[in-house]
Chain A
């Protein structure tokens, strides 16, 4: 197993290098004028100033030189001050938001974290639970219902589903509002005596003892959570179900039945742990789908996270900003996949005992 993990860790720098090359390859499609957003905030309005900036930051240099400076930052020829450099955490300037991309990410990230964290629980709970129930009751009514739900879940685009939820529960019934928080609760959160421990409204409000704010934040979260996670329910349901069916057919399950083990013990102790191994592998893929899903969910519900910022920046063709978000989520995804792979090694005895 140690060998497996070491090999996995050795690939990591290669993947990271490839990811930065791919991102920069996309950036090189832009004109030097557009690329200047990597180093300066405002677009100079006359051509002479623009030429000065292009010269100063070497935006017409050979592409590998530019790549290197993009990676580590470029010392200013006059002042010697270092500008840019993604390894220094400088992703350039977001012209659509009028601030450095990294600041925009920092400001928008807590909302996205809050949304995705809350979405993970129903995914794991409902998806896996339904999958096991469906497999145990194979070909009975509940199984058929789960199967049809899963196919429809696959076919329902996130943004259509979100719009329909808004149409019914917001526009008609007015049960669950859009955006992240109500105005009155926002005033409490912005007040001086409200302590920001995590920047997650649901947790901070409880820590500050404001249960009413907590409820308000939760009310705003429910529709986005459902929109974001129902596709993943369908995926988890399907994978858990087929893996559980496969496991229940194994000889060792028959042996356990023959020994007279209780059916509930067979399902919970003998079958389920093994059936969940393939489910763990799709965990990484689901992180990707969640990070993609926030783009639509946040846009539709006017939720101020990184997804809606990325969508807004993209529609205004602010490539440097979108690129910052893509790079950021790419890195998160690589780490998530690493964690899943290592976890897999611990879960699967065939890998663990190698």
Chain B
């Protein structure tokens, strides 16, 4: 009795795990990206965010159609209808040199081109500024985030990979850059650069990059510190791979992922900072299609702001909806990326 095995060979239960269906999309983009894609499209908040981002991409893409430029050499300059200081209400007909009417707006304005969102002081057309401002926002968002990523990844991976004194020095430098309130430091840098490179998008862009890369450097450094002890790195070393090859071909591709997600989430914040500098009068030149620049017109009308509500509401709404889109998607991405939150729904 006792010698007999408790379960005979024939009694062993076998399970046939049901094969999970893998559709073409998952096969093409891989399980990690597919999980992110599923997470984003099943959450109502991130769907809203995606729709908002797509909306602004379409507006930016169709800017020459929605608001045909008068100045084709520099389409980012907002056309103005005279030089009067008092803002005009939405719907005022365009008097001096109205731009050509795009076909899709024809039914909206049977009597000819009007200022759809009114004009700011100086008779800058707000509609034009909001539409082309979407282009500016996407452009500076991508440029700034791209440059911050390059610098951050370079510094963070050197520090994490080599460690020792190089790590110590690079991390102390990173801390020094983080020692200032971000917007004040960017304001200073922008003011320093403006006399030499002139007004425009470049002074604030460089300023925001100078004080914007540190988060990525720290994040990727941490991930690389963990990765460089792994067996596949040792294996690469054993076969005699050079440092640069190990770093760029083996480690960075494995570590870059959370950093990329963080950077994409930060586009909204960066666009706010850029608009903020313009709002304070240290960014783009007056009349450049940029939401912060448009909002700065409101500073002259604070006691009458309720009468001239359209100077604040339209560009302000544009900025908020743009940033909200990125933040909603970013929020969902963070939940999806966080391993502790997997399978727990949104928290």
Contact = CB atoms under 8 A, between A and B. Distances in A.
Contact of B175 (A15, A158, A296): A15
A27 B192 CA distance: 7
Given A15-B176, A317-B195, A155 B305 contact: no
Interface string A298-318: 011010000000110111011
Which one of B176, B189, B312 has the highest number of Cβ atoms from chain A below 10 Å of its Cβ? Answer: B176
B267 interface: no
Which one of B193, B194, B347 has the highest number of Cβ atoms from chain A below 10 Å of its Cβ? Answer: B347
B316 interface: yes
B188 A164 contact: no
Given A18-B173, A19-B176, A288-B182, A311 B187 contact: yes
B190 A314 contact: yes
A326 B295 contact: no
Given A18-B176, A170-B303, A314-B187, A26 B280 contact: no
B248 interface: no
A239 to B, nearest CB: 13
A159 interface: yes
A319 B187 contact: no
Contacts of B195: 30-31, 34, 317
Contacts of A31: 195
A166 interface: yes
B83 to A, nearest CB: 22
B306 interface: yes
Contacts of A292: 181-184
A325 interface: yes
Contact of A315 (B182, B183, B193, B280): B280
Given A167-B312, A319-B191, A311 B298 contact: no
A63 interface: no
B96 interface: no
B152 interface: no
Contacts of B280: 295-296, 299, 311, 314-315
B184 A295 contact: yes
B324 A151 contact: yes
A315 B279 CA distance: 10
A329 interface: yes
Contact of A178 (B185, B279, B302, B324): B302
Contact of B179 (A15, A26, A157, A295): A15
B167 interface: no
Given A167-B306, A295-B280, A300 B299 contact: yes
B281 interface: yes
A170 B191 contact: no
B327 A151 contact: yes
A310 B180 CA distance: 14
A162 to B, nearest CB: 10
A48 B150 CA distance: 46
Nearest to A241: B347
A156 interface: yes
Interface residues of A, number: 58
A160 interface: yes
Contacts of A326: 180-181, 184-185, 187-188
B194 A317 contact: yes
A292 B277 CA distance: 12
B331 interface: yes
A164 B316 contact: yes
Given A18-B173, A317-B194, A329-B181, A156 B320 contact: yes
Contacts of A14: 172
Given A171-B304, A329-B181, A160 B312 contact: yes
Contacts of B320: 155-157, 160
Contact of A157 (B172, B173, B319): B319
Contacts of B327: 151, 154-155
Contacts of B295: 159-160, 163
B188 A26 contact: yes
Contact of A329 (B177, B184, B189): B184
Which one of A167, A168, A333 has the highest number of Cβ atoms from chain B below 10 Å of its Cβ? Answer: A167
A269 interface: no
A142 to B, nearest CB: 15
B162 interface: no
Interface stretch (B9-17, B57-65, B134-142, B268-276): B268-276
Given A22-B176, A151-B45, A159-B276, A164 B312 contact: yes
Given A151-B45, A160-B320, A295-B187, A288 B268 contact: no
Contacts of A333: 179-181
Interface of A: 11, 14-15, 18-19, 21-22, 26-27, 29-31, 34, 151-152, 154-160, 163-164, 166-168, 170-172, 178, 242, 245, 288-289, 291-292, 295-296, 299-300, 302, 310-311, 313-315, 317-319, 322-323, 325-326, 329-330, 333-334
30 contacts: A14-B172, A21-B176, A30-B195, A154-B323, A155-B320, A155-B323, A156-B320, A157-B275, A157-B276, A158-B276, A159-B276, A160-B320, A163-B312, A166-B305, A167-B305, A167-B312, A171-B307, A291-B184, A296-B279, A300-B302, A311-B280, A314-B190, A314-B282, A315-B282, A325-B184, A326-B188, A329-B180, A330-B179, A330-B180, A330-B185
Closest 6 CB pairs of A and B: A18-B176, A315-B281, A292-B181, A292-B183, A171-B306, A155-B324
